[in-house]
Chain A
Amino acid sequence: MNFAGLLFLLITHFITGRGVIELFKVKLPLLVIIPLSFIMGVGIVSFFPFILALLHLPISREVLVGVILSATVLAFIPLFKYFRGSTMSLSLQSVKWPKIYELPFLFVFFSLLSLSVWRCFYYAPNPRDMLAGPEAIAEFAVREKTMVNSIFSVDLSTTNNQLKPLFIASLQVIYKIFVQPFGQTWLSIIVLSFITLIISILKQKLHPVIVGFIMVYFFAMPEVFGYTYLLLFDYSNMIYFFCGFYFLSLYLSDLERKNYFLLSILFFSIASYVRSETPILIAMATPLLLFYFLKDKMEMKKIVINTALFLIFPFAVYYLAIGVYDKYYLPQHYDVATEINKHISDVSIFFKIMGDMSTELIFSANGALYYGYFVQLFVLIFVVDLIFYRKNSSREKIIAIYGICVVYVGLVALSYIFPLVDLMHTIKRGLFKMFPLMLLYFRNSGLLLKLTDILNKWEYGIKDETPRPKVVPVGNKPPVNMNKKK
């Protein structure tokens, strides 16, 4: 393991990501900004070998050092203002030490994440989709300095994984060259960042004990936890898709924050680069956008422009990764049209897939092995909210529910159109995208907010008439006054 190489990548990822985040003038707590920077940094860097391939440039250590350093220097420009100003010290003040009752949870999370990081380092990439696809491309790209390498001279009739976007192959090339022969450690970076991000976001509104218990259930999803150290597309896709939805929810909660809208588009574009079916799910989020645009009486011209921006960028990334690269660069071509369901007029297939998804995948003995109790926990809280806290419907909560529906229905629709999207592989892991959105729902759940209120009152010994501690503000929103009677 080359620690110097890892350190070089960690620093450059962070600066690149932080610079891009700063370009969008994101004002969020430091424990949200730092993980977001790493997630963004890894996402941006993953494009470099792909771009080198598009430009027919050699993918060597020297070229990659040059490109990564150039990007880091460029990204540092918007950061000048930040470091020179007083915002840094202000941000640092917003970081709070964990309280004593958070320690048991932190111990559990630390233990599980340490194991995940170890396995990510230790295990050689094994999933079939990787060995007959991105991992093989990356391995020979390191030797032959090109993504279009000798693997295309092998019999590829048994796989189409070599035609998938180069997100994983690109990161594997970089990490094989700079860190270790198995690459893969980039996965730990985005996993650790994502867990930090999600805990920080939840703690903005919920009591840390509640956050702790929710996260224990989140960790205890065997299938999801497994992919924190097994190389595949879905965990990364889930992270970027969630970040897109998170910033979309911040934007739709306050349409003045156009910067968050643009940032959500960037995250969605990266998600589309990770998994090529993501643009379809993004397109399915458009009605939500239009609904709030019309509700908030946005000008028609702006509605058209925003909707176009929202759709064009993820589709452009998809087109570049599949339409251009596969078609004009690879010796082997793939016509996605050949995979379309031959019985598309038979709508009963759609409902059958939807039924199978619930009975065979989610609420079944297998479902327990895949997702633990997390979905049941969500259903329970959702039903309680529906019965007792219907009035408590923040915009973020509705967006989270809509997002969950998009993933659920979207995967069924994808499987209906493309039978290759099968239940026990693609859908099983595609559902990962739903779980962080459930967490986003939890932080707006009437039940959990009420429990938070009760715990805060008890912990701080506050009676109803005295002011309560303020919740850390989200983005540019004013602090939430918890004393306000609902």
Chain B
Amino acid sequence: MGFKRLILMVASILGILIISKTERVERWLDRFILSPSLSDQMERTGVEERKEYRFGNLYALVQYAKKTMDTVHTKNNVILLPPNEYMRSIKSGFDFPEPLSFYYHTGGIKAVITTSPNVEDANWTFIPRGEGSVALVPITKEELHKLLITYKKYNPI
């Protein structure tokens, strides 16, 4: 019986190897199991490091927004998030989340999109500053209305 079980074990190993070499399984292993590298992750295990690893550009954007807002002493700050379609059209390299996600990421900074019912509350916005860079700047009502006209032709989110 022991020898038969050994044969079954060899058959199991061979079977697993064959399955792992089939097209779909091999692709899955390469794309989703063997990468991303585990050793990279092991080197960055702190909460903020893991957030940075997971969210990439968005993390940098959120940190920047938090820092900027920390220095502002006015109340009721609301940020207008430019449409992603617009951001992509100018190759800014940034995608904005929807207002609730933005609130979550920033730990409580309110934002609106161009079609939000309370878009008139917006007094800050992100302005693209060339490829891969944005600035968070305060805006007046007039500037807000001008921006809304510019963004009108883009999908709001």
Residues of A within 8 A of B28 (CB): 220, 222, 225, 372
B100 to A154, Cβ gap below 8 A? yes
A150 to B12, Cβ gap below 8 A? no
0/1 interface trace, chain B 14-25, chain A, CB 8 Å (1 if under): 011001001111
Cβ of B63 within 8 Å of any chain A Cβ, yes or no, is no
- Chain A residues 150 to 194 lying within 8 A of chain B, measured CB to CB, are 150-151, 153-159, 162, 180-182
* Contact among A124, A220, A455 for B55, CB-based, below 8 A: A124
Rounded to whole Å, the gap between the CB of A257 and the closest CB of chain B is: 35
A-contacting 9-mer, from B66-74, B113-121, B144-152: B113-121
A123 to B113, Cβ gap below 8 A? no
A195 to B107, CA, bound (A): 36
Residues of B within 8 A of A104 (CB): 9, 12-13, 16
Rounded to whole Å, the gap between the CB of A166 and the closest CB of chain B is: 16
A132 to B113, CA, bound (A): 14
* Contact among B27, B41, B47, B100 for A159, CB-based, below 8 A: B100
Residues of A within 8 A of B24 (CB): 220, 368-369, 372-373
Cβ of B75 within 8 Å of any chain A Cβ, yes or no, is no
Rounded to whole Å, the gap between the CB of A317 and the closest CB of chain B is: 26
Residues of B within 8 A of A181 (CB): 47
A41 to B33, CA, bound (A): 30
A157 to B116, Cβ gap below 8 A? yes
A460 to B1, Cβ gap below 8 A? yes
Residues of A within 8 A of B23 (CB): 368
Residues of B within 8 A of A99 (CB): 5
- Chain A residues 366 to 417 lying within 8 A of chain B, measured CB to CB, are 368-369, 372-373
Cβ of A294 within 8 Å of any chain B Cβ, yes or no, is no
* Contact among A123, A135, A213, A217 for B54, CB-based, below 8 A: A123
* Interface residue tally for chain B (C-beta within 8 Å): 47
A376 — nearest CB in chain B belongs to which residue? B24
A225 to B31, CA, bound (A): 13
A372 to B100, CA, bound (A): 35
Residues of A within 8 A of B54 (CB): 123-124, 126
A111 — nearest CB in chain B belongs to which residue? B33
Given A104-B9, A118-B38, A158-B157, residue A213 in contact with residue B101 (CB < 8 A):
no
- Chain A residues 325 to 357 lying within 8 A of chain B, measured CB to CB, are none
A459 to B8, Cβ gap below 8 A? yes
Rounded to whole Å, the gap between the CB of A221 and the closest CB of chain B is: 8
B98 to A373, Cβ gap below 8 A? no
Residues of B within 8 A of A421 (CB): none
* Interface residue tally for chain A (C-beta within 8 Å): 54
A108 to B16, Cβ gap below 8 A? yes
A182 to B54, CA, bound (A): 12
A328 to B9, CA, bound (A): 60
Residues of A within 8 A of B38 (CB): 115, 118
* Contact among B16, B97, B100 for A151, CB-based, below 8 A: B100
B22 to A373, Cβ gap below 8 A? yes
Cβ of A3 within 8 Å of any chain B Cβ, yes or no, is no
A222 to B104, Cβ gap below 8 A? no
A460 to B19, CA, bound (A): 27
A112 to B55, Cβ gap below 8 A? no
Cβ of B138 within 8 Å of any chain A Cβ, yes or no, is no
Cβ of A298 within 8 Å of any chain B Cβ, yes or no, is no
* Contact among B27, B31, B41, B98 for A122, CB-based, below 8 A: B41
A213 to B98, Cβ gap below 8 A? no
**Besides A104-B9, A156-B99, A159-B100, 19 new A-B residue pairs in contact (Cβ under 8 A), listed by A number:** A101-B9, A103-B9, A105-B12, A108-B16, A122-B41, A124-B51, A131-B104, A133-B100, A150-B108, A155-B111, A220-B19, A222-B28, A225-B28, A225-B32, A368-B24, A459-B1, A459-B5, A461-B1, A461-B4
- Identify the A interface with B (CB < 8 A): 99-105, 108, 112, 115, 118, 122-124, 126, 128, 131-133, 135-136, 139-140, 150-151, 153-159, 162, 180-182, 209, 212-213, 216-217, 220, 222, 225-226, 368-369, 372-373, 455, 458-461
A to B CB contacts below 8 Å, 29 in the list = A99-B5, A100-B6, A101-B5, A101-B9, A101-B11, A104-B12, A104-B16, A105-B12, A126-B55, A131-B101, A132-B104, A136-B101, A136-B104, A139-B104, A151-B100, A154-B110, A155-B117, A156-B100, A157-B115, A157-B117, A209-B11, A209-B12, A213-B12, A220-B19, A369-B24, A372-B25, A373-B22, A459-B5, A460-B1
Give 8 closest A-B pairs by Cβ, nearest first.
Answer: A101-B8, A101-B9, A136-B104, A158-B98, A155-B116, A131-B101, A155-B99, A132-B100
